[in-house]
């Protein structure tokens, strides 16, 4: 997940969201896509839009390596599709940082991937961080994971 520079499409999306959602600030939220590939971004966005995906996870090591801020409750984020077009506005509802091997079944289910079990979550995420981790530290069973829960605030038609 890399934050994307502000574009006209993001500005237009934000203007439309502000017409529909009371209290949004004038400056757009950060915009990013789930996953590491265009296909993965589209697959995960579809799960968000259909209400299946209400959680996500990130490696704390990656945030530390890239200098990316750790999300906090009430953060707003614009979610992009694989073509980097803004599609949904989400609000973070909670954050927990736990070791990989202590992520629970409830969080795995909220992420909506695979068969939504903890076993599938662990397989998917270990493979993801081994392949796409940005910290250079690889994967470890006790690596700190940022478990984020969110709700969709508004989605583009």
The enclosing domain of 114 has a CATH number of 3.10.400.10
How many domains does the chain fold into?
1
pLDDT for the residue 153: 98
| 10-residue stretch averages of pLDDT, the chain, 157 residues long | 81 97 96 95 97 97 94 97 97 98 98 97 96 91 98 94
Q: Which residues of 22-56 are buried (b: 16+ CB within 10 A; e: fewer)?
A: eebeeebbebbbbbeeeebbbebbeebbeeebbbb
**Domain range holding 93?**
3-155
pLDDT at 2: 66
């Amino acid at each position: 997940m890399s934050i994307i520079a502000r574009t006209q499409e993001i500005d237009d999306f934000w203007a439309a969201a502000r017409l529909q959602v009371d209290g949004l600030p004038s400056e757009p939220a950060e915009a990013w896509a789930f996953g590491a590939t265009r296909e993965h971004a589209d697959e995960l966005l579809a799960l968000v839009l259909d209400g299946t995906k209400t959680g996500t996870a990130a490696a704390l090591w990656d945030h530390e390596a890239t200098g990316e801020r750790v999300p906090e409750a009430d953060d707003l984020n614009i979610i992009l599709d694989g073509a980097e077009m803004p599609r949904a506005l989400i609000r973070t509802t909670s954050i927990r940082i736990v070791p990989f091997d202590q992520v629970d079944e409830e969080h795995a289910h909220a992420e909506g991937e695979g068969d939504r079990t903890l076993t599938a979550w662990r397989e998917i995420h270990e493979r993801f961080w081994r392949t796409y981790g940005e910290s250079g530290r690889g994967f470890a069973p006790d690596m700190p994971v940022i478990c984020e829960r969110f709700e969709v605030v508004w989605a583009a038609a």
